[in-house]
Amino acid sequence: MAHAGVCSRRKAERYIREGRVSVDGQVVTELGTTVDPKKNKVFFDGKPVVLSDEYAYFMLNKPPGFLTTLSDPFGRPTIKDLIKDIERRVYPVGRLDKDSQGLLLLTNDGELSYRLLHPRFKVPKKYIVTVAGHPSAKVITRLEQGVKIGEGKVTQPCKIRPLGRRKREAVFEVILNEGRKRQIRYMFRAVGFKVTKLIRTEMGPLKLGDLPMGKWRRLDKSEVDALKKAAGF
């Protein structure tokens, strides 16, 4: 399912446990079940899972106000509204929350998606973060070393570099090797500061550059090769 671009490996495992996956008409709930895509028919929620003969890779400059999902039961704006002209069915690699913006990779290459997101492969993601107030150097060091967020989980070490400060806010460059849900916002909240703006500018060797907000473009071969190299292919 991950190779077919349906979802991440982690979600695929959850869907299998939930009984939403079938092979040749039989529901499968055991992880690690082996299938031959040339012989077996795999379905997810009653829809066929088909391996793509050709992977596609795109970059979107996501504006704030859009959910990083392809559908929303409440009718809120999603990134699907921005990528209607993409001819292939592709999926976002990781998430930017509704209020965040910047680089969002879209692909149907499930293995690459998995590697880019998993902390084991240490693919860095760079963000420009604006916070209300002026965190001290001691606070920044604490963030770099790791803080507890959500359910007592401790963030992995990261790099934070000050970029400037104004009267009531400060701007930082933050580089993570992991990407938990709303992680940067929770990190700064844990030390008493609120993130007011968050822009992802890089994912591994891929840079947002001057791509206009709300627009997308196809990655060229050199960019795809660089991403794969960074992900350990």
pLDDT tens string 161-193: 999 999 999 999 999 998 788 999 999 999 999
CA distance 126 to 175: 4
Q: Work out the pLDDT band at 2, boundaries 50, 70, 90.
A: low
For Cα atoms 11, 157, 64, give the angle at the middle one, nearest 5 degrees.
60
Identify the pLDDT of residue 3: 62
Q: Rounded to an integer, what is the distance from CA 33 to the centroid of its chain? A: 27
Encode pLDDT of 99-115 as tens digits. 999 999 999 998 899 99
At 207-231, the pLDDT tens digits run 999 999 999 999 999 999 999 999 9
For 38-79, the pLDDT digits (tens) are 788 888 888 887 665 578 999 999 999 999 998 899 999 999
Burial 167-184 (b: 16+ CB within 10 A, else e): eebbbbebebbbbbebbb
Above 90 in pLDDT, residue 195? Answer: yes
- At residue 67, φ and ψ (nearest 5 deg) are -80, 140
Query: What average pLDDT score do residues 79-94 get?
Result: 91
Lowest-confidence pick of 86-90, 135-139, 186-190: 86-90
Name, in order, each residue with C-beta under 8 angstroms of 131's C-beta and a sequence gap of 6 or more.
169, 170, 171, 172, 188, 193, 194, 195, 196
The pLDDT of 83-98, averaged and rounded, is 90
Q: Specify the pLDDT at position 14.
A: 86
Domains along the chain with CATH numbers: 9-48 (3.10.290.10), 57-119+205-230 (3.30.70.580), 124-203 (3.30.70.1560)
Find how far residue 140's CA is from the centre of its chain: 24
Residue 150 CA to residue 103 CA, distance in Å, equals: 25
Q: What is the pLDDT of residue 100?
A: 97
pLDDT given for residue 35 in this prediction: 81
Q: What is the predicted pLDDT for the residue at 89?
A: 85
Spatial distance between the Cα atoms of 174 and 163, rounded to a whole number of angstroms: 10
Give the pLDDT of residue 54. Answer: 79
The pTM of the full predicted model, rounded to 2 decimals, is: 0.79
Can you give the pLDDT at residue 52? 59
- Identify the pLDDT of residue 210: 95
Beta 159-165 vs 169-176: how paired, if at all? antiparallel
- Catalytic (active-site) positions: 97
